[in-house]
A = this chain, B = another copy of it.
C-alpha cells in the first residue's frame, strides 16, 4: 500500500510539473512517463497475491484496527475494480490522455474544434472500452464510481434534477433584478500585488506554506505529492475577479483538506472518500467564507492597503455584491454560485450521452450550444467559450463533473451544521479562522476515507444527501443580496 501511495505521489508531482514548469518540448516524454507510472501502478493494484491477501483480510479481519479495516475495504474496492481492466487499456488510456491534452491545447489556440475532435474521439472510444470492461450497471456508473465511490447514476440524477427544478426559477428571478456594479473589479490590479495579497490571506486563513506552496499555471488546481507538500496553483489577470484571489481560496480549500490528512499519509485511507467531498471544502472556503460579508469586513481594509487607488472608494457592501454577481455567462470556472450548477448539469447530460454513444463527438459543439441556450440563455461565441473550455474530457475525466455539484450540496449541508455549533460570522469578522478549520479538521479531514462519503456526511450533518440545504443557503444569501424570495 505504501508503494502504491508513493507511485501516486510521483504521478501527482509529474502532473503538477507538466502544468507548471515542464519545458514545452518535454511534454510528449512526460506523457510517456505518466503512462509508465500508470502501468506500474495498475500492475501492482491488480497483483494476484495482493488481491488474495486483501480477500483474506476482508473475510477474517480479527485483530485489525478500525483504520486497518477501512484500508482493506478501500484497497479491495480498487483492486476488484481495476482487476477488470486489461493492462494494455490502462496504458493506452494514459498515453491517449497526453495526446488528447495536447490536441485540446492546440484546438484552443487555433480556436478550432476540428483539431481537437479526432483525439477526443479516440479518448471516448477508450473510455467506452473501459466502462464496458468495468461492467457496472450502466457505463456512466462505472466512470462515476472512480471519482465518487459508491455513487450511482440512479441516485445522482434525481438529485441533480431536483436541484434544477428549484434552482432554474430562482436564477431567473435573480437575473431579472438589476445587476450590481462590478466594474471596479477590472482594475487593473498589479499581478505581483494580487499574488502577495492572495498569499497573505491564504496564509492567515490557515494554509501551511511550510507544507505546501503556490505557483502559476494556465488552470488553477491543487495537487499533493505529499500531505506535507501540497501545491496550489493559480493564474493572475489584471482583474481582481476573475483573478488569483478567489481561485486561490478555492484551491486552498482543497489544500487545507489535504494538509489535514497528514496523519494518514501513505495509507489507502489518507484521502477524501470522494471528489465531491473534496470539492465541498473548496466550495465552503471560496463561497461560504470567502464571498461572505464578515470575510470582507476583515480583509477589505487589508486589500485597500494593497490597492488604495482601485479599492479606496469601495465599501464592504459594494464589494460583496460585486463578487457575488449572478450572470448567465459562458465560462464554468468563472461562474457564480447559482449558475455554476447549471453549467454542471449541461456537462453531465452531454458526457452521459457521449459514453452511451447517443451523441457523436462531431455533434458536441452544437449540442453544447443548444443546452447553454436552454439552461442559461447564453450563446457561446465560439468553441473555446463552449465545449473546449474544460480540460476534463481531454484527460478522459468523464464522470468527474457531477462531483462539483455534489461538492456544493455537501458544502451547504456542512455550513448549516457548523453554524449550529459555532459563531462562524463572528470568528470570520475577527479574522479568527482556527475554530472553523478546527471543526472541519475534527469532523471531516481527520476522518480520511474511514467511511464512504455519504455515510461520513450523514454522520457530520445528521442528514442524507440532498439539495435542500443548498437551496436554503442560496435563497438566504442571494435573496438578501438581490431582494428576491
Given contacts A2-B32, A6-B32, contact A25 B229 (CB under 8 A): yes
Q: Return chain B residues, CB-CB under 8 Å to A39.
A: 3
A416 CB to nearest chain B CB (Å): 34
Could you tell me if A30 and B266 are in contact, using CB atoms closer than 8 angstroms?
Answer: no
How far is B14's CA from A36's CA once the two chains are assembled, in angstroms? 15
Stretch from A206-214, A424-432, A459-467 at the B interface = A206-214
Could you tell me if A30 and B213 are in contact, using CB atoms closer than 8 angstroms?
Answer: no
Q: Return chain B residues, CB-CB under 8 Å to A21.
A: 21, 213, 215
**Any B CB within 8 A of the CB of A13:** yes
Could you tell me if B210 and A32 are in contact, using CB atoms closer than 8 angstroms?
Answer: no
Could you tell me if A26 and B229 are in contact, using CB atoms closer than 8 angstroms?
Answer: yes
Among A32, A210, A212, find the residue whose CB has the most chain B CB atoms closer than 10 A.
A32
Could you tell me if B211 and A25 are in contact, using CB atoms closer than 8 angstroms?
Answer: yes
How far is B10's CA from A40's CA once the two chains are assembled, in angstroms? 13
**Any B CB within 8 A of the CB of A24:** yes
Could you tell me if B22 and A229 are in contact, using CB atoms closer than 8 angstroms?
Answer: yes
**Main SS at interface, chain A:** helix
Could you tell me if B13 and A228 are in contact, using CB atoms closer than 8 angstroms?
Answer: no
**Any B CB within 8 A of the CB of A480:** no
Could you tell me if A213 and B10 are in contact, using CB atoms closer than 8 angstroms?
Answer: no
**A1-42 with Cβ < 8 A to chain B:** 2-3, 6-7, 9-10, 13-14, 17, 21-26, 28-30, 32-33, 36-37, 39-40
Given contacts A6-B36, A7-B36, A36-B2, contact A26 B226 (CB under 8 A): yes
Residue of B nearest to A208 (CB): B25
Could you tell me if B210 and A30 are in contact, using CB atoms closer than 8 angstroms?
Answer: no
Given contacts A10-B10, A13-B14, A14-B13, contact A228 B36 (CB under 8 A): no
Could you tell me if B215 and A29 are in contact, using CB atoms closer than 8 angstroms?
Answer: no
Q: Return chain B residues, CB-CB under 8 Å to A36.
A: 2-3, 6-7, 10
Among A17, A25, A209, A212, find the residue whose CB has the most chain B CB atoms closer than 10 A.
A25
**Any B CB within 8 A of the CB of A141:** no
How far is B158's CA from A268's CA once the two chains are assembled, in angstroms? 55
**Any B CB within 8 A of the CB of A225:** yes
**Any B CB within 8 A of the CB of A265:** yes
Given contacts A17-B17, A40-B40, contact A9 B23 (CB under 8 A): no
Q: Return chain B residues, CB-CB under 8 Å to A269.
A: none
Could you tell me if A29 and B210 are in contact, using CB atoms closer than 8 angstroms?
Answer: no
Q: Return chain B residues, CB-CB under 8 Å to A213.
A: 21, 23
How far is B29's CA from A225's CA once the two chains are assembled, in angstroms? 9
**Any B CB within 8 A of the CB of A289:** no
**Any B CB within 8 A of the CB of A335:** no
How far is B465's CA from A314's CA once the two chains are assembled, in angstroms? 75
How far is B29's CA from A265's CA once the two chains are assembled, in angstroms? 9
How far is B215's CA from A321's CA once the two chains are assembled, in angstroms? 42
A12 CB to nearest chain B CB (Å): 10
Q: Return chain B residues, CB-CB under 8 Å to A225.
A: 17, 22, 26, 29-30, 33
Render A209-247 as a binary contact track against B, CB cut-off 8 A, 1 for contact. Answer: 111110100000000011111100000000000000000
Given contacts A32-B2, A36-B6, contact A25 B210 (CB under 8 A): yes
A67 CB to nearest chain B CB (Å): 19
Could you tell me if B208 and A29 are in contact, using CB atoms closer than 8 angstroms?
Answer: no
**A38-90 with Cβ < 8 A to chain B:** 39-40
Residue of B nearest to A215 (CB): B21
Q: Return chain B residues, CB-CB under 8 Å to A266.
A: 29, 32
Q: Return chain B residues, CB-CB under 8 Å to A265.
A: 29
How far is B381's CA from A256's CA once the two chains are assembled, in angstroms? 45
How far is B33's CA from A212's CA once the two chains are assembled, in angstroms? 17
Given contacts A225-B30, A230-B23, contact A10 B6 (CB under 8 A): no
Q: Return chain B residues, CB-CB under 8 Å to A227.
A: 29
Q: Return chain B residues, CB-CB under 8 Å to A30.
A: 225-226, 229
Q: Which of B6, B10, B23 contacts A228 (CB 8 A)?
A: B23
Contacts from A to B (Cβ < 8 Å): 2-3, 6-7, 9-10, 13-14, 17, 21-26, 28-30, 32-33, 36-37, 39-40, 208-213, 215, 225-230, 265-266
9 pairs across A/B with beta carbons < 8 Å? A6-B33, A6-B36, A7-B40, A13-B13, A13-B17, A23-B229, A29-B228, A30-B225, A30-B226
